[in-house]
Amino acid sequence: MASQPILFQEKQHFTQVWLWVVLLGVASIFWVGFFYQLLSGHNFGRNPVVGVEAALLLVLVGVGLPFFFYKMRLVTEVYPGYIRLRFFPFHLKAVEIPLHLVRDYERVTYNAIRDYGGWGIRWGLRGKAYNMSGSRGVQLYFYNRKPLLIGSQKPEELFEAIREAKNL
């Protein structure tokens, strides 16, 4: 079986500066506490964690949390007849949306916090959303279920690729 041509592909990562400031701020507290206790021998905080527990917390929160967000990504691909979405690491297998189920679609500007409660895989009054950053995307309207928003840094290209894929 010959592989189908990819009409559109986009890989998105979390790029919000405020998110990275918060993540790295939390991680740095664990780094500072760990090395303060290790180097000075004094307790860090009122109820300090020491030994293996402190090292485990450092690895999980000080390294693991920022690494987890760094590796997180949304991959959007449009092929003739369907759209494939994968929000790594939450989707082990990509979600495929057959375009014959899509009644209509449009480019939209949205407020991620107000409309969907934030970024990621979100559910709101307006349906489901897959978004990583920004406030633009393509809204899909289905015959038999609530709408789906696909956030994109290139919504015009995504819209045109869906138009082309739906016509093929």
Is the CB of residue 72 less than 8 Å from the CB of residue 111? no
Pick from 72, 62, 60, 66: nearest CA to 119: 72
Over the stretch 142-159, which tens digit does the pLDDT of each residue have?
998 999 999 999 999 999
Over the stretch 68-98, which tens digit does the pLDDT of each residue have?
999 999 999 999 999 999 999 999 999 999 9
Distance CA 31, CA 29 (A): 5
State the Rg of the chain over Cα.
21
Please report the pLDDT score of residue 1 as a whole number: 43
- Give the mean model confidence (pLDDT) for residues 127-150: 95
- Give the mean model confidence (pLDDT) for residues 51-68: 88
Q: What is the pTM of this model?
A: 0.83
Examine the pLDDT at 117 and tell me if it is beyond 50: yes
Examine the pLDDT at 44 and tell me if it is beyond 80: no
Over the stretch 7-22, which tens digit does the pLDDT of each residue have?
999 999 988 899 999 9
10 Å Cβ neighbour count for 75? 15
Pick from 68, 37, 66: nearest CA to 54: 37
SS3 101: helix
